[in-house]
Structure 1
């Protein structure tokens, strides 16, 4: 298909497609003429991914470009998924500020759930949160961490089975990035509803 048809199929303007081509987010089409190229289903899939990362997840062009260069460079799936999580959830800022950070409470969580005892941006982010809460005098007991980690472990098991299923790298990033963003928001909204419901029950009984 030519540029016009690619634009019509994806709903992305020709100007935007040309911009993505210049920025390296979209691979060049197969040249058939000095001023004409043919585009494939891969281009359709890649444009859908770019639009989702921008509009749904809210990533910047530079962030999208970094993820796509990893994907096109053949990065291992685990490394790619870690980069997606780091970017979508903003974990890179924490690691940049604190480096590899360990806390007794964070180590305890890993033991409670028998999670791999390895450094990661997610673990650094948890430990930074624990340090912050301790500095503010907000208690984080072993019982609380056990209960919280048990709940999120069950959620993560469901998430990751869907996230790692696609073989196509565009679909893999799409599922992981959009899934992490939307499921994280869903968990927060469910938690808010649960907190509100418990408060209503408690104060209705008091009244």
Structure 2
């Protein structure tokens, strides 16, 4: 099932998401498969559960649709993740978000991340990632913390895009995938 992507302005995108248990949600494998399908349909490389309206500490990543050698084989499920440490020099890269179509801005993030999480088989992992893998993880992790990439940009730039953000929340934006808008008529 392909879910509609929740657009900017929906309160679920600003909540700290709840932890999952082995019993809840009941059909976790189907939810994970649906999240991958939804992400691929929208041509994304990451998708967090809040972006489909579920306030759960779950995100998926898959760089296979990119030409980027660093992430094209990077496909993972992160359940109840915790970032333990972010290290290295900050570096800028232009980020976008499926929940905020048509807006891309440079975001500074640290180069390396150490994360603890469960995979889809409830096996615990603690791993370190750097470069683009770290960036994708940090971006998706922000979603389950109620943070959006625009929260990391210069306040002046954020004020300059406020009109576009308001239009997005009302559904007044071009998009090529199903979306749910909080203020649409």
TM-score bracket relative to the smaller structure: under 0.3
Structure of greater relative contact order (alpha carbons < 8 Å, 6+ residues apart): 2
Q: Counting strand residues as a fraction of each chain, which structure ranks higher?
A: 2
Q: Counting helix residues as a fraction of each chain, which structure ranks higher?
A: 1
Larger Cα Rg: Structure 1 or Structure 2?
1
